[in-house]
Chain A
């Protein structure tokens, strides 16, 4: 560390340096790793100083609020899965399970990428969680492997038909949708899935674009809870999706 910057480094770590002194030091830091290291160490010292405030606990509602926000963001996330060949009508069930696991793995990967050491500790604490993670990783590795071959199994001479499966849990508003052999879309258009309730207008249930093989997977699009689904329908809409369906309905299936 350069002694002439010693005091200014401490002020910068505190966020208390300003003006020309700050500009000069920041310019120097761009080329001086020793001073950068000292800055990081001084920030560490400020963190220890911050620890002196420890004591107050956040109210329970703060945790609920955070978890709700995270859940809402997770729900709107869609996952696209690529494949090499068409797959048969019953395959979506397997894909749905895999997609649900993929979402779990995706979350863990986000965590573990740079929080590797934190994750290691968490995994030690929960061997059960680690086993689940491992299983999910294996599923995803199989799904995404370049050498994976998907072999269609169907009745002889049956031409491939567009197929979709919506797996829907009303109470938790959870929906997994998988589609195969979907036809190509016009440019700047996308498919939109609709939940047709027993009463009321169709509810948007996610916009998707199939991959080159006509496959698409949507996991947990945002939906209101407790809606009884009379049917699910698909229309072609602008890429951003619509709030009401544009006729005609290209695919539809009634709930049981």
Chain B
């Protein structure tokens, strides 16, 4: 567990901090995510993807739950994340990070904002539409094409 912590605590903490905006609350989420992994390592199916990616998604979900002060919405076992880079090594992580930042930097600001509001603030598409004053359909399209743009950058 110490090795897994060394490898992935930064991703988990960064995501929790980005969502919660508070170091204490981010630490609580970090603790909860790793304890859950320790108690129930079977929740992660290594045949279906990378642990780093799975932890990032689980952390985001837990942090949003904490933000909304609600009970965890879904079992961690139910979340399957399929992604090519596995973030295992520092080199791989920094290479992937660089790539994501380049993609996001080149993305239209409105599209990046839609992704951020949905993922880091946990807003529904109608809440995003209400906040940005744009039609629901536009928000839907932006989110999907934004995610596909990121995926494409890693397919090359």
State the A residues within 8 Å of B (CB): 6-11, 13-18, 37, 40-59, 62-63, 65-67, 69-70, 73, 110-111, 113-118, 121-122, 125
Contacts and interface: CB of A to CB of B under 8 A. Distances in A.
B25 interface: no
A18 B31 CA distance: 29
Contact of B97 (A7, A45, A51): A51
B141 A7 contact: yes
Given A11-B140, A47-B57, 9 more contacts: A8-B140, A40-B49, A46-B57, A47-B50, A47-B53, A50-B60, A54-B97, A57-B9, A66-B30
A47 B128 contact: no
Shortest Cβ-Cβ A-B pairs, 10 listed: A44-B83, A47-B53, A10-B144, A40-B82, A58-B13, A45-B147, A50-B56, A7-B140, A53-B18, A14-B118
Interface string B121-154: 0111110100000000000110110111011001
Contacts of A115: 41, 44, 46, 51
Contact of B147 (A13, A65, A70): A13
Interface of B: 1-5, 9-15, 17-18, 23, 26-27, 30-31, 34-35, 38-39, 41-46, 48-54, 56-57, 59-61, 64, 79-85, 87-88, 93, 96-97, 100-101, 104, 115, 118-120, 122-126, 128, 140-141, 143-144, 146-148, 150-151, 154
B53 A62 contact: no
A255 B113 CA distance: 68
12 contacts: A9-B144, A40-B48, A44-B53, A44-B83, A44-B84, A45-B150, A47-B83, A48-B53, A49-B146, A114-B41, A114-B44, A121-B88
Contacts of A59: 23, 27
A116 B144 CA distance: 32
Contact of A58 (B4, B30, B122, B140): B30
Given A10-B143, A10-B147, A65-B31, A51 B82 contact: no
Contacts of A53: 14-15, 17-18, 120
B10 A56 contact: yes
B42 A49 contact: no
Contacts of B61: 15
A44 B82 contact: yes
B147 A49 contact: yes
Contacts of B64: 15
A63 B7 CA distance: 12
A41 B148 CA distance: 10
Contacts of B144: 6-7, 9-11
Contact of B30 (A10, A49, A54, A62): A62
B15 A63 contact: no
Contact of B96 (A9, A51, A62, A111): A51
A62 B13 contact: yes
B14 A56 contact: yes
Nearest to B93: A54
Contacts of A11: 118, 125, 140, 143-144
B100 A48 contact: yes
B119 A14 contact: yes
A16 B56 contact: no
A12 to B, nearest CB: 10
Given A11-B118, A114-B42, A66 B14 contact: no
